[in-house]
Amino acid sequence: MPDRSAGRRSYTADMRLVDYTLAKRAKLTDLRGGRLSRTDVCDAHPELLRAARNVGEPTPVPCPVCAEEPLVHVTYVFGDALHQRSGRVWPRDGLADLHRSLDEVACYVVEVCTACYWNHLAQRYLLGRRHAG
């Protein structure tokens, strides 16, 4: 899948990537069709909102629910080699170091709206020397 962020090298382009766009579309269709309420889909945890506000990466994409704010991406990393750092928010510019220095880490990108609290898992991909090349 091509990288959609202009001017940045993609560390996900050749990695094992799972994109959750179809699940997002289904959820938004259910919301717009009245099968889900706004409170069902705009339920971001306070810690996720704090991460989005403080270390999240703004995107140019408006929130699909409220269109008041652009979405923010928050990346979490998991891996045995990270020890106590596993499961934490990781800045995108630090992913290259993980890719070069560890055998494998799983990255989860969550899109968040800090205005209405929409949140959705956008992508999951693997990084690390095991997946290089």
Please check the confidence at residue 1 and state whether its pLDDT lies above 90. no
How wide is the angle at C-alpha 39 spanned by C-alphas 32 and 33, nearest 5°? 15
How much is the pLDDT for 122?
Answer: 97
Phi, psi of 38 (to 5 degrees): -60, -35
Comparing 111 with 99, which gets the higher pLDDT?
111
Q: What is the pLDDT of residue 112?
A: 98
Angstrom distance (rounded) from CA 18 to CA 108: 10
Q: How confident is the model at residue 81 (pLDDT cuts 50, 70, 90)?
A: confident
Span 100-108, mean pLDDT?
A: 88
Q: What digits encode the pLDDT tens for the residues 5-49?
A: 444 444 444 458 999 999 999 999 999 999 999 999 999 999 999
Give CA–CA dist 129/105, Å, rounded. Answer: 9
What is the Cα–Cα distance from 121 to 33, expressed in whole angstroms? 21
Contact by Cβ (8 Å): 65, 38: yes
Quick check: helix, strand or coil at residue 106? Answer: strand
Nearest to 123 by CA among 10, 8, 9: 10
SS3 of 5, please? coil
pTM of the model: 0.83
Higher pLDDT, 130 or 17: 17
| Predicted confidence (pLDDT) per residue in 113-124, tens digit | 999 999 999 999
